[in-house]
Every structure is written in C-alpha cells, then in structure tokens.
Amino acid sequence: MGLDVTVLIADWAWLGGVPPRERLSRLREAWYADETGLWDDDAPAPEGDWVWPRGRHSASFAVYEFRGTLGSFKPHFWAVERWESVRHRADPPVRTAVDPLLLGLVREGLDDTSGQARPGFFGTDPATTRGLLLAHPPDGVRELAARWDGARRRLGGLRGAFDEHAAAPGGWVGDFDGFTGLLTDWGDVLSEGARRGWGVVGLSG
C-alpha cells in the first residue's frame, strides 16, 4: 500500500482537445512543465488548499493538497475501512450520500477504473491509462458534489458510533475528526470542480 495519489480538477474541454490516447500525457506534461512552478521547493504547497500552475497552463488545471496525507493513498483507503465499520449505523440519507463518495472516489479507483472515467475519454489502451486511479467528468462531479452537500450536515451524528466501532487510535484516519476532515477535503475538491464545470482526475506516481 505504498501508492501515492495526486488529485486534480481539470478543464474538460482543454483535456478533450487532443485524441483520447494522448490526454493523460497532456495532463502530465502540463503538470511537470518547467514554467508551472508546482513543485517549487521555496513555495511548499499549503495543505487543504489548491496549487495552481503558472505559465500557459494556469487556467487548465489545479492540484489539491489533502490535509495530513503526505500525498499517500493510505488515508483514503483507511477512510473506506472506517466507513465500512460504521456505515450500518448511519442514517439512510447519510449512507446514500457517503457510499458513492468513498466508493466512487476511492475504493474503485484502486481495483477497477472502468467505471471511473467517461467511456473512451482517456482511451482503452492500458499503456496510455497507466496510473489513472479515478476520473469523473463534470456531470459526475456535480452529482457527487450534491451528494456531499446533503451529507456534510448529518455526519456529526455519527461521532458516537465511530468512536465505538471504527476508531483506531494512532492509525490512519483513526478518529472521527480525521475521518470527517478527509471527507471535507474531498467535498472541497468536488465543490470547486462543480463550480467551474470541470472534471476530477486522480493519478498515481
């Protein structure tokens, strides 16, 4: 479980400006372009906020820095595990909202990306989609953002059940505040993507 993850929002029209098999390359090349300044050691990325590229790609995508994850996929994985321990005690509206958030954004991204990207948008050749963990087009982002908006005000009612059935002191996402904090970060990603009409992409490596 040494996998890293980078989560971005991206202008879907910009990504769609090249053939499907070249789209991930376009995103990665823009991400690592010399003039972007994304990985400038003199300007560490603020946790819980966006890092916007400089130069010609400044309006094409942005990287979100999750709080307390150090870029690792582990907290996201363990958030799903904590949820599985407590979801049967959640009210139906909370389950209806959180299930697609965690299962759509995290779990299936590791094992099966077939349902995580618009069919054909990134092509079907594994050689050109290597490292793609998740990809939601703008309509999917809007749907998930709406689900998050419906869940966030109800999550507080899970604290007691989480403490009893899901807490793991010292572990990844081991307490309720860490769990809701990670969900809130995902909510920020979805809300900003929905506001701009952009997609969400998760890449490893």
Q: For residue range 25-69, list pLDDT tens digits in order.
A: 999 899 888 777 776 656 666 889 999 998 889 999 999 999 999
- Listed as ranges, residues in the chain with pLDDT below 70 are 1-2, 39-45, 107-119, 205
For residue 101, the enclosing domain spans: 6-203
- Residue pair 143/63 in contact (Cβ under 8 Å)? The answer is no
1 inside domain: no
172 inside domain: yes
154 inside domain: yes
Which of 149, 177, 188, 163 has its CA nearest to residue 75?
177
35/58 Cα distance (integer angstroms):
10
Locus of tokens 């992409």: 201
86 inside domain: yes
Question: How many domains are there within the chain?
Answer: 1
| The token pair that represents 168 in the structure block | 């793991």
14 inside domain: yes
The model's pTM: 0.90
